[in-house]
Amino acid sequence: MSNIILGVTGSISAYKACDIANELTKEGHSVKVIMTEAGQKFVTPLTFMTLTKNRVYTDCFDNQDPAAVEHIALATEADLFVIAPASADIIAKAAAGFGDDMLTTTLLAFRDKPVLVCPAMNTNMYENRVTQRNIEVLKDLGFEFVEPKEAYLACGTVGKGALASVDVILERIRDLL
């Protein structure tokens, strides 16, 4: 089966990434989760470690294998890079080429293979012209997207910005593999 990186960023929908990781692991894929600091505020690394049976990566400087540069090794061995949920912050960092944490440095090292971005944020943030420009930049670079859905959001409003359903994301992952 495939090696998949699952990036988890700061969004209330981070709990849905647990279902994504769990389903992919059950299908026989090796899932390596990279969490941003904000993502860890919503779900713990222990949850993903338990579901995937793999170490969870949270810090560029917590290199546990002295023979490897971990963000390079992860990027090299992965077949697919999925960011779900993808916050406005990670979309902006990716569009600008930032590499200031484990997720962004690994993403910068990931080449010539598919990247799937699944945005999740407040409607105003999603529809903001800067966010939309950043999405277009990433699309022009070949990044794939699963559009967020319209739903009742954590802020109490209804609008586009909720993470797409787990089934829709899994179907897109399977298509890309």
Query: What are 163's two structure tokens?
Result: 């993470």
Across-strand partners of 82?
A: 6, 116
The arithmetic mean of pLDDT across residues 81-105, rounded, is 97
Domain ranges of the chain: 3-176
Query: What are 104's two structure tokens?
Result: 């962004």
Confidence at residue 67, expressed as pLDDT on a 0 to 100 scale: 64
Q: Which of 96, 99, 48, 46 has its CA nearest to residue 69?
A: 99
Residues of the chain with pLDDT > 90, as a percent, come to 84
Q: How far from the centroid of its chain's Cα atoms is residue 22's Cα?
A: 15
Q: Is 18 labeled as catalytic in the residue annotation? A: no
pLDDT band at 56; cut points 50, 70, 90 = very high
Whether the Cβ atoms of residue 100 and residue 71 lie closer than 8 Å to each other: no
Confidence at residue 16, expressed as pLDDT on a 0 to 100 scale: 98
Confidence at residue 72, expressed as pLDDT on a 0 to 100 scale: 87
Mean pLDDT for the chain? 94
Q: How far from the centroid of its chain's Cα atoms is residue 54's Cα?
A: 16
pLDDT band at 116; cut points 50, 70, 90 = very high
Confidence at residue 34, expressed as pLDDT on a 0 to 100 scale: 98
Higher local confidence (pLDDT), 161 or 78: 78
Q: What Rg, from alpha-carbon coordinates, does the chain have?
A: 15
3-176 folds as: Rossmann fold (3.40.50)
Contacts of 72 (CB under 8 A, 6+ apart): 109
pLDDT band at 161; cut points 50, 70, 90 = confident
Dihedral sign for Cα atoms in the order 88, 24, 18, 48: negative
Confidence at residue 19, expressed as pLDDT on a 0 to 100 scale: 98
3-state secondary structure of 119: strand
Report how far apart, in Å, the C-alpha atoms of 110 and of each of 78, 124, 175 are: 8, 30, 19
pLDDT value at 62 more than 80: no
pLDDT value at 61 more than 70: yes
3-state secondary structure of 61: coil
Distance between CA atoms of residues 64 and 71, nearest Å = 11
The arithmetic mean of pLDDT across residues 26-51, rounded, is 98
Query: Of 18, 60, 118, 155, which is the active-site residue?
Result: 155
